[in-house]
Amino acid sequence: MNVFEHAEIADRLRAAGIPITLQRLAIANALFERPVHVTAEQLLRQVKASVPETSRATVYNSLKLFVDKGLLKELVVDPGHVVFDSNTEPHFHLYDIVTGNLTDVPADQMSVIGVPALPPGIEMEQIDVIVRVRPQR
């Protein structure tokens, strides 16, 4: 990553109202350098390689903060398997249940027709679609 991209990512955090720390910047770099789907533990390992003093709590707290600020989407693939997605544009997912590979499906390739009637006082937050696939048998 060059200095320009580094500064761009710092600007993105500041614009979202997130104070910059060295560890947050390292976490943000790992997430926003290119679109990724990553688990908290994968991210922790990756960030520790460049900033070894990064704690698990810092990674989890930063992920929550980034999700709250709309920089990141949290995707529950299976119970106990949560992936963070740095592509916040509307899109769907293909999930290979054998390899665990998760790939984006552009929003223009699929559509969800209709939404369920919602109880009073409830509003739609988002619709997640995960198409589960496997290698042909």
Binding residues for Zn ion (CB under 5 A): 85, 87, 104
The DSSP element (H or E) to which 49 belongs, if any, is helix 40-50
Q: Nearest approach, Cβ of 119 to Zn ion (angstroms)?
A: 29
Q: Give the residue carrying structure tokens 């679609």.
A: 129
Q: Nearest approach, Cβ of 44 to Zn ion (angstroms)?
A: 20
Helix axes 40-50, 22-32, angle to 10 degrees: 120
Please state whether beta strands 102-106 and 91-96 pair in parallel, antiparallel, or not at all (unpaired): antiparallel
Task: Indicate the residue among 21 and 100 with the shorter CB distance to Zn ion.
Answer: 100
Helix (H, G, I), strand (E, B) or coil at 38: strand
Question: Which residues, listed in sequence order, are joined to residue 75 by a DSSP beta bridge?
Answer: 83
Task: Indicate the residue among 50 and 87 with the shorter CB distance to Zn ion.
Answer: 87
Task: Indicate the residue among 69 and 74 with the shorter CB distance to Zn ion.
Answer: 74
Query: Cβ atoms within 10 A of the Cβ of 3, count?
Result: 7
Measured between alpha carbons, how far is 78 from 58 in angstroms, rounded to an integer? Answer: 24
Q: Nearest approach, Cβ of 24 to Zn ion (angstroms)?
A: 22
Q: Nearest approach, Cβ of 133 to Zn ion (angstroms)?
A: 15
Q: In the complex, which residue's CB is closest to Zn ion?
A: 85
Task: Indicate the residue among 58 and 92 with the shorter CB distance to Zn ion.
Answer: 92
